[in-house]
Amino acid sequence: ARTMTHARAGHCPLLYLPRRTGDTRAVQVLAPDGLVLGLRIDSGAHFTQLLREEITPLQAGDLVLLYTDGIVEAMNADGEPFGEERLVELMRAHGDAHPDRIREKMLVEIRRFVGSASPHDDMTLVLIKLDERTAPADT
């Protein structure tokens, strides 16, 4: 169907970079409404009431990034976090590359930024890129 259904339950928003259609393109921060998963306020009715699913249409060349807070909160020796802005810039700058190359570039830049500072959280990222070979042909 070339769509992605997603919800947010307290985790980081996902980043979406549409395929290149011109000279510039912008990374979109997708953060549907939701309540932290596992927060027990009631029997779950409040969580269900607040949770919003969004459907994002996808095209060949689109890039999606899911990540844990350890990525954007990775700190250098001065206590400065890597931040979402740096992650967005890396995604924009390298979004046309193969996902393996994008991942490697991100990890290298995070390591370079952190330097000798000790990690304080897990760092997980998942890149999804729709390949033209996997997209159904238009009829």
Model confidence band, residue 49 (pLDDT cutoffs 50, 70, 90): low
Model confidence band, residue 92 (pLDDT cutoffs 50, 70, 90): very high
CA distance 114 to 130: 31
> What would the two tokens of residue 53 be?
């699913």
Tell me what pLDDT residue 67 has: 92
Please name the residue that has the structure tokens 């700058």. 93
Q: How confident is the model over 67-85, as a mean pLDDT?
A: 93
pLDDT above 80: residue 97: yes
Model confidence band, residue 139 (pLDDT cutoffs 50, 70, 90): very low
Q: How confident is the model over 35-61, as a mean pLDDT?
A: 69
| SS3 of residue 87 by DSSP | helix
Please name the residue that has the structure tokens 């994002």. 56
pLDDT above 90: residue 137: no
> What would the two tokens of residue 55 be?
């459907």
pTM score > 0.95 for this model?
A: no
Tell me what pLDDT residue 115 has: 93
